[in-house]
Structure 1
Amino acid sequence: MSVQDDLAAVKRRLQDLEHTVDELERRVGAEQGAPPPPPPGRADSMVTIPDAPYDAGKWTDVDDEGLGARDRHAP
């Protein structure tokens, strides 16, 4: 067997393994009453996040996580 044949055989076996794992996850999820996992691939509803900084005016009444409120000091 050539290296190409070996690589093709490994690729087929890997695809078979992925298919078997997906089927097993579906069966276990169905037994536990979990919703089925989403199909593999890109999500259709992807959201693009801009690189521009956020509007600081939207964050005037929130606490800094772990630091407390802006107008109070930590004990």
Structure 2
Amino acid sequence: MSVHDELASVQRSLDDLIRSVGRLEKQLGSGGLEMRRVRSDTNHLRESVALLRETATAGTTAPKRPDLVTISDTPYDPSLWVDSDDEGLGAHDRRAP
């Protein structure tokens, strides 16, 4: 089965669960702690399946490539490095250890 088919099956099962919880809630009432927890868990499961569905559909599309940056082949202006030291060698007027 494909991911789409599996998600559709999960959604059908979840819809059945939501209907069953609704019927149970009518019989037992919605005020008890246990029923509120079951209703809350069902809602969390619904949200989780929706997130999973979004993730699965986003994963089937081609990933977005980063924007390309063109780097020129022309040399940099040497004046950019006039006041800098050679890394690891110290200043120009001193000897390296």
Q: Which TM-score applies when normalising by structure 1?
A: 0.39
Q: Which TM-score applies when normalising by structure 2?
A: 0.32
The structure with the larger Rg is 2
More helix by share: 2
